[in-house]
Amino acid sequence: MKILLLLNKRLTDNFGGTEKVFCNFANEFVRRGHVVAATHNDKTDLSSTNALDPRVQLFNLNGPEVPRTTALAAKIWREATRPFRKTFLAPLFPDFYLNQRRRLLKPRIDGALQAFRPDVVVAFFTEELKTLFFERPTNDFATILMAHNVPWISIPSWQRENGPALDRCDAVQALLPSFIPAIRAQCSTEIVAIPNVVPQFAESVDVDEREKTGSPRVVFAARLDAKSKRQHLAIEAFAKIAEDAPGWNLHFFGSDYSGGAYRSRLEKLIQKRKLDGRVFIQDSTPAIVQELLASDIVAFPSAFEGFSLALTEAQSLGLPVVGFADAPSVNELIVDGENGFLARDVDDFAQKLKTLIDSKELRRRFGANAKKSVEKYEASKVWDAWEKLLREAVEKKRAA
């Protein structure tokens, strides 16, 4: 089977969860004996990248930029007409900026298709899918869309804008079964729930050894983001219990993509709550496994997740997690009272952190349960499900 992974993102200097899934997907199916190609969008060509098996054929889209004056006018139009594109009037108000980007990128994708001639194309986002189908009335390859987040982000909730592309897919992947109804409302195609792969670490946090270090800590590894990751809520919760948890600290690991604005806000909040020397903000690190093993509890204040690798990898290392009960995906991966706690609000979050801080035995039990709870996301099980979906999509396309 010839598989083309379609991604319009950089691989040179940006390596988050999506890029990790992208590279792992390509590597696994090469290992399984398939012929795999992958697109990316970098300013310079990559003969290879350390994260990818050298047998993966790379196509650099190196997408041309929309001319500045054209882009400005198109963006003004887009923002002015955005409300109409969420209604039945959407066809009357096209997004000229995105259409121009698609028009410029289409020849690059056509070149990859003609050179590789895939049996199936896996689009990593709806924008890649819509670019793939832009001014392409028919296709002789199967297509599958990956949904990397909650449905209302992965697949925006106005069917008229995304529906035609979604309905042309042979299948859409959802990260969790609970996401299927929301995706079903947007399209008529097949929807299959396949989670992310969770590494099954041999190591686990040793509660007794951690106690001997005398440096207990709560940790959260995620990009600094006010709307989705909400590190400020973890600081507010920790501030409520800091006096009653002497010696405990809170550590964040993550880069700030807001130009430093949110990090500055967090630093001011730390000062305001008199937590200097108790709360630390550090850049993302390739040694995050070691940092997690040197921690005791994960505070996970996200508003939502698709299927968080940061959360599940921490669970695989035997760490108990505190999250919010109204956070999609988080409230499924954390089973309240078994492998962590789900909090109603910041006050409750603080109290549940304190409960874990006060009980070594509870941390030990929750951590063991957390490690066991992610065993079902072991690599071979996930990739077997993907291989079945890919084969079925190709067979269905050939039979059509």
Please give the full DSSP string across 241-295, using - where no structure is assigned.
HGGGSTT-EEEEE--B-STTHHHHHHHHHHHHTT-TTTEEEE---TTHHHHHHT-
Residue 202 in any domain: the answer is no
Whether 275 is covered by a domain: the verdict is yes
In a domain, 32, yes or no: yes
Indicate the helix (H) or strand (E) that contains 323. Answer: strand 321-324
168 and 261 inside one domain: no
CB 352 within 8 A of CB 322: yes
User: 10 Å Cβ neighbour count for 366?
Assistant: 27
Instruction: Clarify whether residues 36 and 180 are in a common domain.
Output: yes
Same domain, 243 and 221: yes
| Tens of pLDDT, residue by residue, the chain (400 residues) | 999 999 988 776 555 677 788 889 999 999 999 999 999 888 776 655 568 899 999 998 887 776 777 777 767 877 877 777 667 676 777 777 777 788 888 999 999 999 999 999 999 998 899 899 988 989 999 999 998 888 888 777 655 556 678 889 999 999 999 999 988 888 889 999 999 999 999 999 999 999 999 999 999 999 999 999 999 999 999 999 999 999 999 999 998 877 889 999 999 999 999 999 999 999 988 899 999 999 999 999 999 999 999 999 999 999 999 999 999 999 999 999 999 999 999 999 999 999 999 999 999 999 999 999 999 999 999 999 999 999 999 999 998 7
In a domain, 68, yes or no: yes
Look up the domain containing 347 and give its range.
207-376
- Do residues 158 and 94 share a domain? yes
Work out whether the CA dihedral 71, 101, 135, 151 comes out positive or negative: negative
Residue 158: the pLDDT is 54
Tell whether 299 is covered by a domain. Answer: yes
B/e letters for 85-118, b = 16+ CB within 10 Å, e = fewer, are beeeebeebebbbbbebbeebbebbeebbeebeb
pLDDT for res 277 = 94
Give 313's contacts (C-beta < 8 A, 6+ positions apart): 198, 199, 201, 288, 289, 292
In-domain check, residue 316: yes
| Domain shared by 271 and 359, yes or no | yes
- Considering the domain architecture, whether residues 341 and 385 belong to the same structural domain is answered as no
Q: Is 331 part of a structural domain of the chain?
A: yes
Please report, for residues 101, 169, 232, 287, 365, the alpha-carbon distance to residue 131 in angstroms, rounded to integers and kept in the order given.
8, 13, 37, 36, 48
What separation, in Å, do the N-terminal and C-terminal C-alpha atoms of the chain show? 18
CATH no. for residue 236?
Answer: 3.40.50.2000
- CA 132 to chain centroid: 22
pLDDT at 286: 86
CA distance 149 to 309: 12
Same domain? For 280 and 393 the reply is no
In the chain, how many domains are there? 2
Q: Are residues 241 and 293 in the same domain?
A: yes
Residues 178 and 272 in one domain: no
In a shared domain, residues 287 and 383: no
Examine the domain organization and report whether 220 and 127 are in the same domain.
Answer: no
- Could you tell me the CA-to-CA distances from 24 to 86, 199, 291, 377 in Å, in that order? 35, 11, 22, 14
Quick one: 137 and 155 in the same domain? yes
Residue 177 within a domain: yes
